Amino acid sequence: MIKKFIDKLLGKGAGGTQGKSRFGKRQEVPAEVHGIDPALVDERAKNVVTTLQQAGYEAYVVGGAVRDLLLGLRPKDFDVATNATPEQVKSLFRRAFIIGRRFRIVHVVYGRGREHEVIEVSTFRAYMDNAAAEQVAGNERTSKGELASMKHAVDASGRVLRDNVWGPQEEDAARRDFTVNAMYYDPANQVVVDYHNGIKDAQKLTLRMIGDPATRYREDPVRIIRAIRFSAKLAALGFKLEAKTAAPLVESTKLLADVPQSRLFDEMLKLLQTGHAIATVEQLKKLGLARGIYPLLDVVVERADQPFVKAALQDTDRRVSEGKPVAPSFLLACVLWADVRDGWAQRQEGRNGQRPQPPFPALQDAIDDVFNARIGDVSGRGKLAADMREIWMMQPRFDKRTGSTPYSLVEQARFRAAFDFMRLRADVGEVGEAIAEWWQEFSTSDDARRTDLLEQVREEQKVRQRVRVRETPQSPKPPKPHGEPAGRRAADPGRNDDVEVETLAVPPDGEAMAPRKRRRRRKPRPGGGGEGGGSAADA
């Protein structure tokens, strides 16, 4: 009786049992059951785990990396979870940096330049009831000062604005989003720790939210986008969103209105640049979310079936699958090219009562219009915008293949991106295939071959010029007066003797050339500065 009374006081009665059950039951699954191949685990991730364990802390590979390992895939990124605080983690590694305010984590960096790898280390977080958290009136954009001294805070809608209260592993697992992302793998003893039947869901190819989905989406609306991203990524393996997890998605999208635009922009890029852009578009349509997530994403989905945009999405997926880098500036430049191209043509032609503009100023103004209408101030005036502008501004320069232009163009920092953009335009018939092939060869050839290629262009231009002259109707020439020297008009009081016409010799193929005018240099009169000079006959 006394024990029951104490348990009741401590909340360990019926209500306490329910509270405990939400943290799940710890299951330690050995290697012979889960079947993970240790060779698929990155050595640098192993080093981070080993270093933390040798310092006396718990440490595991966690999240999507464990899910991929269970599926027999080699993860592209490795995250580590530990009971060490961010400051304790940072003290153990030479190149480690604490980042974030909403969620404080540590980036442990290996290597330099493009070959560097980041292992993300997070501290186990406590499962905090939102009712017990500090509540603020603002949101992620407006309450940074108020949040500075808080460890756990929510806004009026229940969205978590700060989550930096450390806790045990079972609570950390409960606050993660999907069951297949809430497993922990210890490379040392090859044991998987599973609290929410993630291994079973992985075997059943089910993507299931931990806890009540509607509540979890309200805690962090970006989980809506994560649900789309994971379902698109895993669709090729046969994964499907659990019905209860998918049901609140459409209704919950209104919660995204209070999420900072910069964060939505970053999440949109993750949807499009993780190697599953085409599958993401299909998943958005399937779930009824083709519109309403983010305005620029709406444009992507709307234009995904257009040949040029579809080719860009497929090219992005291909490059990711081949381990090649991808830039958001290139993909967004492809998506918004139709707006730039149409605005450019409109300004050159002077439509809608506008005065016609020269090509380059017209292109610059069209680009400004697109930035203002489609991107605004969210990452649109920094490096991303500069790269997009450079890709677009180079396009008319590909038409000029004479003089020093080709040499200077291939030296531009963004030449390869601009060329790949033009290459896609050629693939859909917007640019001649021969031009794309010429630039491909010119950009990879030595100086001697480049000289040959330029000479080839000059010869082609001469041929086109002859064809144009041959096709131009020639007006009949008046008979030349008797005795007039070849190449000049005879002196005539009614004519301007300051202009003479030189009759060019007819080429061997009989092609007639247009007369060429030239101005004679007048000779000063003897003894004075008055006008004068000999006539054509005098010459």
Residues forming the active site: 77, 79, 177
Structure tokens at 169: 């592993």
Find all residues with CB under 8 Å of 196, minimum gap 6, and list them.
24, 173, 174, 179, 182, 210
Angle at 351 between CA 348 and CA 357, to 5 degrees: 25
**SS3 helix, strand, coil % of the chain, rounded to 5?**
50, 10, 40
**DSSP code string of 84-139:** S-HHHHHHH-SSEEEE-SSS-EEEEEES-GGG-EEEEEEE-B----GGGSEE-SS-
Give CA separation, 393 vs 389, 409, 417, in Å: 6, 11, 12
Burial degree of 80 (CB within 10 A; 0-12, 13-18, 19+): buried
Give CA separation, 269 vs 329, 334, 476, in Å: 10, 14, 65
What does DSSP assign to residue 210?
S
C-alpha span between 518 and 532 (Å, rounded): 18
The answer to whether the CB of 241 falls within 8 A of the CB of 207 is: yes
**DSSP code string of 322-383:** TT----HHHHHHHHTHHHHHHHHHHHHHT-TTPPP--HHHHHHHHHHHHIIIIITTSS-SSH
The answer to whether the CB of 240 falls within 8 A of the CB of 205 is: yes
C-alpha span between 66 and 75 (Å, rounded): 8
Structure tokens at 338: 């139709």
Structure tokens at 180: 């297949």
Handedness of CA 106, 35, 237, 115 (dihedral sign): positive
Give bridge partners of residue 206 from the DSSP assignment. Answer: 240
Find all residues with CB under 8 Å of 253, minimum gap 6, and list them.
224, 289, 292, 293
Q: For helices 383-394 and 359-370, what crossing angle results, to 10°?
A: 150
What does DSSP assign to residue 186?
E
Nearest to 242 by CA among 219, 216, 266: 216
